[in-house]
Chains A and B, each alone.
Chain A
Amino acid sequence: MLFSQLVFLFFLAAVLLFLLVVRGNRARKLFLLAASYYFYAYWDWRFCSLLLISTLVDFWVGQGLKATADPRRRRALLMCSLVVNLGLLGFFKYFNFFIESLQVALAPLGWRLETLDIILPVGISFYTFQTLSYTIDVYRGRLKTCDDFWDFALFVSFFPQLVAGPIVRAADFLPQLESTRPLTRERFFLGSRQFIYGLVKKVLLADQLAQVSDFTFDNLGAFDGWTTWVGVLCYAGQIYCDFSGYTDMAIGCARALGYDLCPNFNHPYVATSVTEFWRRWHISLSTWLRDYLYIPLGGNRKGVRRTYVNLMVTMLLGGLWHGAAWTFLFWGGFHGVALVIDKRLRVFDRLASAGLPAKLLGWAYTMLVVTVAWVFFRAQSFGDAWTCVREMFDVVHFGEGVHWISTRAAICLPVIVVTHAISATRWKHLPELPADRWYTPAILFFLIWLVLLFRPEAFTPFVYFQF
């Protein structure tokens, strides 16, 4: 069940109707929990058991941490949570990757290892990180243990953010479950508005750009430099609109249901440094990695060299989190190196007080780094990625090959550029249509009509579902 499918709208309408009819907080929460499990089971009911295991283990660990002050016992409980959660994630997501990598390494010895036919449970990376954050925060004493199992189960499985984030912290979400959430007209309007914006990003931009980028990446080696650049930029636009569109829909859904989720994007392509990019892109993941990996490793408190090592380790693991492939690892490492350079040259701090030309230079450099990194993120193999990068930068043969500038790219890319440019000006609140203006309903209905007209005929899942 995708947010952009009609069946989801029926499902959401039914959930909203029930919440409007039922006033009790307990009943509402139990219904939302059942709805969330139904939502997950709609994809594959067997993997509800994984969700339940994660929930049970972390709830039990939380209770155990509350019951004991013995550091060794507490550490053992934390290890238990880490082993179960990361074990499940490792098996379902990385087992075949490690086996295949080992196969390559052991091939000269003539050893052969068999891979397993494993289906990746949708959203496992997201809810694993979410439950881990709860356990770690409780272990650190920064969060009160949740004593209500049903509340905790709803925190793990809350359907708007279950399959592709944002990665919600227990400290942000659990307090919202303590009292009956208001279902006001204003919340419904704000939620619906954000949901429609997300739908527009997904259907009108991401799905259109995907056609260009898919064709480009399926035929790497055939195009001239311009076409390859346009194809890669289309992918940059696609992945932003796809993921931030999903996030907008998730936040909008949750808001209409009475709950607030943290923002996940803040116009990342206006960033003037790679450091700033990561403060604007997938914010819930980057802050998770910062709080639960980078800082525990020592952050920047243990000297310059150790800071760089910590950054590289964090970004490499961040890359691997996205997918079980060497290209993802390289993508993470590439960003890691860029962040190290940023830190070394203090780009972020210097640009904060710099003039417009320096900021534009910083923006161009950041876009170059991010765009080239997307090539490794999207390509099926290093060979493909290398072919693409060569086509982009081979000045001698830049004009050789098939030339194709798609109309979709010519229309959708400027829309992304304009929306990003507006966000950097004093008109940044322009897209926030006020509820009390006469034109707001007409514009929102117009957008809905456009979405209905352009809805894809084929099944087009969100890119981040695979992670």
Chain B
Amino acid sequence: MRVVLRWGIGFVLATLAIWCVGAFFVSDERQLRWNEEIGSLVYCEGDYDYCKEGWGTVFFRDDGLLGARKPLASYERYVVFYGDSFVESLQVGDSGSVYTQFTELAQKSGRPWRGLAVAASGWNLEDHVALLPIYAKRIPRCVAHVIVISGADMVRPESSARTDPVGARHSLTALSRRFNAQSIAKRWQLQSFFVIVRSACAAFRDLRLRPGPVLASANKKRKKVCGDVCPEYYESLLDALQDHSRGRRIVVVYHSLIPQLNHGRIDETDPFAPAFRQFRALCRKRKIECLDATPALCEYTRRSGRFPHGFANSFPGQGHWNRQGHRLIAQVVLDYLMASQQSTD
């Protein structure tokens, strides 16, 4: 009996220990909630830590914007980046993100522009087209709306439906907790251990969130833009984008999975290039500016032997942009905006 009791207590202790580690450290498991004001699903407000590839902390505002902790100022001029998990920048944190580095680069170049972002994992062009008019209204002094699309978007026509309220049957509220295990870990220099443990504990529920009331409008059906046939699908999306672009500068920035390491060689073959060429032709027909960031990314790797994708916790040349990748994209956008401003002047 004593043996059974001892092993039973041991099991409970071990389970508790692992649950605490997992539960306290899964703050990268972001929870979406329906935002009545924006009319869209956004992440619960708060700092989110990420550690699967690289690691960093990103602050998600209540209105779904990234890159500004304080309220937006009417005197500031903003450049808003719309994107997916790349722009979401969880792998590098706020400080290394494309929007923060854009702000830094712009200020160095004497332009008082501030970068912001509206991004979430899995969002694609359909989501951006739906969100752009909403945020364009909220941020009137906007220099440009930059839509960042990846090569995978070219062959993934279905929307991730993040902006579709179906499924948002619940609302979640963030709780604040000053002292959690993470701060203890940092104090004790145990971060590297928890990086590994946390990354494997994604199944645990985030303790920082509690369920709230379901909002009635969350159940409102939203009209889908189009079906899933690529050319027609993109044409309808770009038509919608063209409508939104009246009076606004809209720039589409394309990037792909290249350059990659392939059997010891730097591979610059973009598998999505044919689809992108078609897409760019459709953009040009509608006078929507479409930039290709891949040459800048490839050029950087050729020059330095480093990759704009990949981290210590993942593989070089694979996965999301690292800090340098974010900087390169920011530079591509800044160069374009500066050049177009000069030509206008």
Q: Is B185 an interface residue (CB 8 A)?
A: no
Establish whether residues B307 and A402, one from each chain, have CB atoms under 8 Å apart when the complex forms. yes
Establish whether residues A407 and B196, one from each chain, have CB atoms under 8 Å apart when the complex forms. yes
Q: Which of A21-29, A253-261, A446-454 contacts B (4 or more CB under 8 A)?
A: A446-454
Q: Which of A125-133, A217-225, A319-327 contacts B (4 or more CB under 8 A)?
A: A217-225
Establish whether residues B312 and A404, one from each chain, have CB atoms under 8 Å apart when the complex forms. yes
Cα separation A329 to B136 with both chains bound (whole Å): 68
Establish whether residues B200 and A454, one from each chain, have CB atoms under 8 Å apart when the complex forms. yes
Q: Is B11 an interface residue (CB 8 A)?
A: yes
Contact residues of B between 231 and 256, Cβ < 8 Å to A:
none
0 or 1 for each of A432-460: is its CB under 8 Å from B? (1 = yes): 00000011111111101110011000000
Q: Is B14 an interface residue (CB 8 A)?
A: yes
Establish whether residues B306 and A445, one from each chain, have CB atoms under 8 Å apart when the complex forms. no
Given A405-B312, A407-B195, A407-B196: A222 and B14 within 8 A (CB)?
A: no
Q: Is A406 an interface residue (CB 8 A)?
A: yes
Establish whether residues B10 and A444, one from each chain, have CB atoms under 8 Å apart when the complex forms. yes
Cα separation A164 to B89 with both chains bound (whole Å): 45
Q: Is A56 an interface residue (CB 8 A)?
A: no
Establish whether residues A401 and B305, one from each chain, have CB atoms under 8 Å apart when the complex forms. yes
Q: Is A107 an interface residue (CB 8 A)?
A: no
Establish whether residues A406 and B313, one from each chain, have CB atoms under 8 Å apart when the complex forms. yes
Q: Is A147 an interface residue (CB 8 A)?
A: no
Contact residues of A between 297 and 344, Cβ < 8 Å to B:
none
Q: Is A400 an interface residue (CB 8 A)?
A: yes
Establish whether residues A445 and B195, one from each chain, have CB atoms under 8 Å apart when the complex forms. no
Establish whether residues A406 and B14, one from each chain, have CB atoms under 8 Å apart when the complex forms. no
Establish whether residues B14 and A446, one from each chain, have CB atoms under 8 Å apart when the complex forms. yes
Q: In the complex, how many angstroms separate the beta carbon of B149 from the nearest chain A beta carbon? A: 27
Q: Is A411 an interface residue (CB 8 A)?
A: yes
Q: Is A215 an interface residue (CB 8 A)?
A: yes
Establish whether residues A441 and B200, one from each chain, have CB atoms under 8 Å apart when the complex forms. no
Establish whether residues A402 and B305, one from each chain, have CB atoms under 8 Å apart when the complex forms. yes
Given A401-B305, A411-B193: A215 and B315 within 8 A (CB)?
A: yes
Q: Is B166 an interface residue (CB 8 A)?
A: no
Q: In the complex, how many angstroms separate the beta carbon of B10 from the nearest chain A beta carbon? A: 2
Contact partners of B195 in chain A: CB under 8 A: 407
Q: Is A410 an interface residue (CB 8 A)?
A: yes
Given A218-B263, A454-B200: A404 and B316 within 8 A (CB)?
A: yes
Q: In the complex, how many angstroms separate the beta carbon of B29 from the nearest chain A beta carbon? A: 14
Contact partners of B183 in chain A: CB under 8 A: none
Q: Is B17 an interface residue (CB 8 A)?
A: yes
Establish whether residues B312 and A406, one from each chain, have CB atoms under 8 Å apart when the complex forms. yes
0 or 1 for each of B286-315: is its CB under 8 Å from A? (1 = yes): 000000000000000000011100101101
Q: Contact partner of B192 among A411, A441, A443, A450, CB < 8 A?
A: A411
Contact partners of B15 in chain A: CB under 8 A: 445, 449
Q: Is B134 an interface residue (CB 8 A)?
A: no
Contact partners of B310 in chain A: CB under 8 A: 404
Contact partners of B315 in chain A: CB under 8 A: 215, 404
Cα separation A445 to B19 with both chains bound (whole Å): 12
Establish whether residues B200 and A453, one from each chain, have CB atoms under 8 Å apart when the complex forms. yes
Contact residues of A between 177 and 204, Cβ < 8 Å to B:
185
Establish whether residues A442 and B264, one from each chain, have CB atoms under 8 Å apart when the complex forms. no
Establish whether residues B306 and A402, one from each chain, have CB atoms under 8 Å apart when the complex forms. yes
Contact residues of B between 1 and 44, Cβ < 8 Å to A:
3, 6-7, 9-11, 13-15, 17-18, 22
Interface majority SS (helix, strand, loop, mixed), chain A:
helix
Given A220-B264, A405-B312, A407-B312: A446 and B192 within 8 A (CB)?
A: no
Establish whether residues B312 and A219, one from each chain, have CB atoms under 8 Å apart when the complex forms. no
Q: Is B261 an interface residue (CB 8 A)?
A: yes
Q: In the complex, how many angstroms separate the beta carbon of A411 from the nearest chain B beta carbon? A: 6
Given A440-B10, A441-B6, A441-B11: A400 and B305 within 8 A (CB)?
A: yes
Establish whether residues B192 and A453, one from each chain, have CB atoms under 8 Å apart when the complex forms. no
Given A404-B312, A446-B18: A222 and B192 within 8 A (CB)?
A: no
0 or 1 for each of B192-222: is its CB under 8 Å from A? (1 = yes): 1101110011000000000000000000000
Q: Is B265 an interface residue (CB 8 A)?
A: yes
Please name the residue on chain A nearest to B196 by beta carbon. A411
How many chain A residues sit at the interface, stated as a range, is 20 to 34
Cα separation A413 to B201 with both chains bound (whole Å): 22
Cα separation A119 to B195 with both chains bound (whole Å): 41
Please name the residue on chain A nearest to B14 by beta carbon. A445
Cα separation A442 to B5 with both chains bound (whole Å): 12
Q: In the complex, how many angstroms separate the beta carbon of A71 from the nearest chain B beta carbon? A: 58
Cα separation A221 to B264 with both chains bound (whole Å): 5
Establish whether residues A449 and B307, one from each chain, have CB atoms under 8 Å apart when the complex forms. no
Q: In the complex, how many angstroms separate the beta carbon of A53 from the nearest chain B beta carbon? A: 41
Contact partners of A346 in chain B: CB under 8 A: none
Cα separation A445 to B9 with both chains bound (whole Å): 10
Given A219-B261, A402-B306, A411-B196: A441 and B313 within 8 A (CB)?
A: no
Q: Is A403 an interface residue (CB 8 A)?
A: yes
Q: In the complex, how many angstroms separate the beta carbon of A224 from the nearest chain B beta carbon? A: 8
Contact partners of A453 in chain B: CB under 8 A: 18, 22, 197, 200-201
0 or 1 for each of B140-158: is its CB under 8 Å from A? (1 = yes): 0000000000000000000
Please name the residue on chain B nearest to A221 by beta carbon. B264
Contact partners of A403 in chain B: CB under 8 A: 306
Contact partners of B305 in chain A: CB under 8 A: 400-402
Q: In the complex, how many angstroms separate the beta carbon of A318 from the nearest chain B beta carbon? A: 30
Contact partners of A219 in chain B: CB under 8 A: 261-264
0 or 1 for each of A198-239: is its CB under 8 Å from B? (1 = yes): 000000000000000001001111100000000000000000
Contact partners of A407 in chain B: CB under 8 A: 192, 195-196, 312-313
Please name the residue on chain A nearest to B51 by beta carbon. A407
Please name the residue on chain A nearest to B193 by beta carbon. A411
Cα separation A441 to B9 with both chains bound (whole Å): 8
Q: In the complex, how many angstroms separate the beta carbon of A183 from the nearest chain B beta carbon? A: 16
Contact partners of A387 in chain B: CB under 8 A: 264
Contact residues of A between 105 and 149, Cβ < 8 Å to B:
none
Establish whether residues A441 and B196, one from each chain, have CB atoms under 8 Å apart when the complex forms. no
Please name the residue on chain A nearest to B264 by beta carbon. A221
Cα separation A404 to B307 with both chains bound (whole Å): 10
Contact partners of A404 in chain B: CB under 8 A: 310, 312, 315-316
Q: Spell out A's residues near B (CB within 8 Å).
A: 185, 215, 218-222, 387, 400-408, 410-411, 438-446, 448-450, 453-454
Known pairs A411-B193, A441-B9, A444-B10 / 10 extra A-B pairs, C-beta < 8 Å: A219-B261, A219-B263, A402-B316, A402-B317, A404-B310, A406-B313, A408-B313, A441-B14, A449-B15, A450-B18
In the A-B complex, the 4 residue pairs with the closest CB atoms: A441-B10, A445-B14, A221-B264, A446-B14
Chain A to chain B contacts (Cβ below 8 Å), 17 pairs: A402-B305, A402-B316, A403-B306, A404-B315, A405-B312, A406-B312, A407-B195, A438-B10, A441-B11, A441-B13, A442-B17, A443-B10, A445-B14, A446-B17, A446-B18, A448-B14, A453-B197
